[in-house]
Amino acid sequence: MTALYLGVDGGQSSTTALVADEQGEILGRGAAGPCNHTSGDEAETKLRLVVTECVNLACRSAGIQQPFTFEAACFGMSGGPADKKAILESAIAARKWFITDDGLIALSGALSGEPGVITIAGTGSIAMGRGPSGEIRRAGGWGYVFGDEGGAFDIVRQALRACLRAEEGWGEGTNLSGMFLSQMGCADMNAALHLFYTAGWPRSRVAKLAPAVDECAQLGDSVAKRVLENAAQSLALFAQSVSRQLWPEGSTVNCSYIGGVFRSATVLHRFRTLLELSGSQVVAPALGPAAGALLQAYRLAGASPDLTKLLSSTFRHE
């Protein structure tokens, strides 16, 4: 059988695996639950089960009999690779391994393996870049306590702060308060804020209120629009910081983006405008993180897939 390659995007909400041949044809896909189980024996077991299920599903859809040894495998893991390497290598067979974080595979996918910068804005945020010499740099990604500016959780947090200022009479009036109360089923902001400190409202659930902030902005709420534009500015600053670390001043750098926050037209427009004013070129992501992991697997093995096959695949944005 021809050599096969495995790319896996192990995220906080789901895990996706892609199997492809040496020409770049994606043969199979598998999806499973979150891949952030690392602490303790039970958590390690969950991680192994999720990875095994995901890869087995991809192999099955590709018509591959297990057990199977891949020519090269790349796993991009949320939270980094250090505490997952032994678990992954015991679950999947491959001749060559590359275990990295999810930012690098997102970068590789968005820019088809070429140098540039990716800004990721989901629940949290980070920017990562690969320079012309292959050097990697990052900005942001320090978690919700000390960072994650411009991410969905931060957008909701800033919107709530604006609501509290309006409530106390020292901030501009906004329709955000009514939106939050309606979404949460609360009578007033005091009750809403108390809910946010309970186990029933983890950060992931709070972050899901960010699209409602975008809706308010689209309806003309100036406070909501300002919150989103400030988020875009933070995300653009991350990208600019990475660019300065990797390229000489005045260089034109390809910058891309990924994550649910960029579904907001307000955020994306402001982000694009700020970066283009600084001389960068903003491009839509060509491939998703799992396909980016595949590219890293090819790179590891010294293989040269046909990018047109990857770019035309149904699963290119998985």
How much is the average pLDDT of 34-39?
62
53 or 269: which leads in pLDDT:
269
pLDDT exceeds 70 at position 20:
yes
pLDDT at 39 over 60: no
Residues 124 and 52 in one domain: no
Q: How far apart are CA 54 and CA 316, in angstroms?
A: 17
Q: What is the pLDDT of residue 315?
A: 74
Do 165 and 307 share a domain, yes or no?
A: no
What is the predicted pLDDT for the residue at 41?
A: 59
Domain-located, residue 26: yes
Q: Verify that 86 and 121 share a domain, yes or no.
A: no
Q: What does the pLDDT look like over 150-207, one tens digit per residue?
A: 999 999 999 999 998 988 888 888 889 888 888 888 888 888 888 888 888 888 888 9
Mean pLDDT score of the chain, rounded to an integer?
A: 88
CATH number of 11's domain: 3.30.420.40
Whether residue 292 sits in one domain with residue 279: no
**Cross-strand partners of 256:** 118
Residue 104: which of 296, 312, 280 has the closest Cα?
Answer: 296
Distance CA 163, CA 174 (A): 7
Q: Which residues, in sequence order, are CB contacts of 247 under 8 Å at separation 6+?
A: 131, 132, 253
pLDDT of amino acid 40: 55
pLDDT at 250: 87
Instruction: State whether 148 and 276 are in the same domain.
Output: yes
Q: Are residues 82 and 218 in the same domain?
A: no
Q: What is the pLDDT of residue 118?
A: 96
> How large a percentage of the chain has pLDDT more than 90?
47
**CA 132 to each of CA 117, 126, 246, 252: distance values in angstroms, whole numbers, following the listed order:** 11, 20, 8, 12
Q: In the prediction, which pLDDT does 235 show?
A: 97
For residues 273 and 293, state if they share a domain. Answer: no
Domains: count for the chain: 2
Environment class of residue 31 by beta-carbon count within 10 Å: exposed (0-12), middle (13-18) or buried (19+)? middle
Q: Is 317 contained in some domain?
A: no
- On the question of a cis peptide bond just before residue 67, with omega within 30 degrees of 0, the verdict is yes
Residue 37 has pLDDT above 70, yes or no: no
Q: Are residues 226 and 296 in the same domain?
A: no
Reply yes or no on whether the pLDDT at 93 is more than 80: yes
132 and 81 in a common domain: no
Residue-number span of the structural domain to which 11 is assigned: 4-102+286-312
Confidence of residue 254 (pLDDT cuts 50, 70, 90): very high
The percent helix, strand, coil of the chain (3-state, each to 5) is: 45, 20, 35
Q: Is residue 281 part of a domain?
A: yes
* Residue 107: inside a domain: no
